[in-house]
Structure 1
């Protein structure tokens, strides 16, 4: 890559780089989906090629699987792995309790299954993803295609009794066609602006017929690693209430940046 990385990309890279140090040979690791998770896959691929790291990766999407194979990671399915040592994934929002909104990339169903089948979940993010209250990012809800208008209407009706500021329920599109997940389902994005009670909302959404899963991750994340544009990385472990900050020196001619550009 020629020229200097934008601060947002540096933030994503250093968070991913720090998270990659948690992966050890012999592990089975869930690999998330999204722009920050792609940096992680690149970092791990470099460790496989240059340091001899040997681990099994379980991708949360077809897109991640393709990239992981490309960079030399040994990819297996969750059925083959059965249980994972660790999952590392990005997020669209997280709060002080490490409750997440995920699904901007359309993979939150697989991401939640993989994360809950792991001993630990590490979330990597840039600093913009930290919020005081969830909800500015639309909450994705994966639904089956059959009876979509009914499901959409039931969700809207349910929201009238929830502690939220917005109640728009919008089908996600890809161009002029409905967005389709890897499981062949549709996504409804809930524009809520503020979510006062994520746990209650998650329970209520998942009771609606036609809903497969929503993008609220509650009591799933154990560690969050936040990257900053100046190379700082802050790590917080909620399980033992510890945290630390380190500084990375980011070199713009690093080979990993060339890989990302390709």
Structure 2
């Protein structure tokens, strides 16, 4: 199986965790896109969803799934999303799709976070994947200097045409290279209080409760 086959396999497995007659949280990214396509097949069994990005909102609505504003929803039973990296404790790096702020908000009101990924996303220590940090544009250089002082190598994320990537929140992304994140929770807290930082792509306070990992031998289920 190629990587896309593995992503589809785990997306199909995640449907087993979707409760009936509920509003669920849906993440952003290529694996989440495939999950949305599978969700469309059982859309009459759910009330609707909250979306972690405009991209996800459009895909859900394109399938005829009702999308609720997060402010309308007190909690959701599950939030299902992918990851750029996941460690043995369920801590993750997310934000490769520039949606980690809204992803973290959705995860914060979920009773259960289910991470869906292929085996290539499993790591012993977070940090090989550059850590996305969403920043207020005014603070981009100031934040970059502080990240450099901590040993990271921040790179301002650009679009393919060289223009600055602008998130759904009107912010910029600094991708921080060269980190070896042995204490995810401590670093998440430390970086989150830097003035101008909107959200850090470490998910330790909102770590996965269950990981569904697609392998050549099927989907591995890990509960944390």
Q: TM-score range by the shorter chain?
A: over 0.9
- Kindly indicate whether residue 167 of structure 2 is the aligned counterpart of residue 181 of structure 1: yes
In structure 1, the gaps of 5 or more residues are 1-5, 161-166, 239-262
Alignment equivalent of 1:11, drawn from 6, 11, 15: 6
1:163 — aligned with what?
Answer: none
Partner of 1:246: none
Q: Are 2:187 and 1:195 equivalent residues in the alignment?
A: no
RMSD: 1.3
Q: 1:88 offset after TM fit, Å?
A: 0.1
Task: Name the CA distance, whole Å, in 2 between partners of 1:64 and 1:215.
Answer: 18
Give the drift of 1:195. Answer: 1.6
Matched, 1:55 2:47: yes
Say which SS state the counterpart of residue 38 (structure 1) adopts. helix
Residue 197 of structure 2 is aligned to residue 205 of structure 1: no
Classify 1:111/1:201 alpha carbon distance in 2 versus 1 (closer, same or farther; 3 Å).
same
Residue by residue, what CA displacement relative to the aligned partner does 1:67-119 show, whole Å, maximum 9, x if unpaired?
Answer: 10111212111111221111000000000000000000000000001001111
The equivalent residue for 1:86 is: 78
Aligned partners of 2:93 and 2:203 also within 8 Å: yes
Partner residue, 2:209: 222
Aligned match of 2:87 in 85, 95, 99?
A: 95
Rounded to whole Å, the distance in 2 between the matches of 1:137 and 1:145 is: 23
Deviation at 1:200? Answer: 2.0
Q: How big is the shift at 1:25? A: 2.2
Per-residue deviation, 1:231: 6.0
Pick which of 219-228 and 108-117 moved more.
219-228
Match of 2:30 in 1: 35
Gaps of 5+ in 2: none
Structure 1 runs of 4+ aligned residues shifted over 6 Å read: none
Deviates more, 1:219-228 or 1:123-132: 219-228
Count of residues in Structure 1 that have an aligned counterpart in Structure 2: 222
**Correspondence for 2:222:** 236
Q: Is the 8 A contact 1:91 1:102 kept in 2?
A: yes
| CA-to-aligned-CA distance 1:162-190 (integer Å, 9 cap, x gap) | xxxxx211110112111110000001000
What TM-score do you get using the length of structure 1 for normalisation? 0.82
1:236 and 1:210 map into 2 onto residues whose CA distance is 36
Partner deviation per Cα, 1:123-149 (whole Å, 9 max, x = no partner)? 000000000111000000000011321
Q: Which has more radius of gyration? A: 1
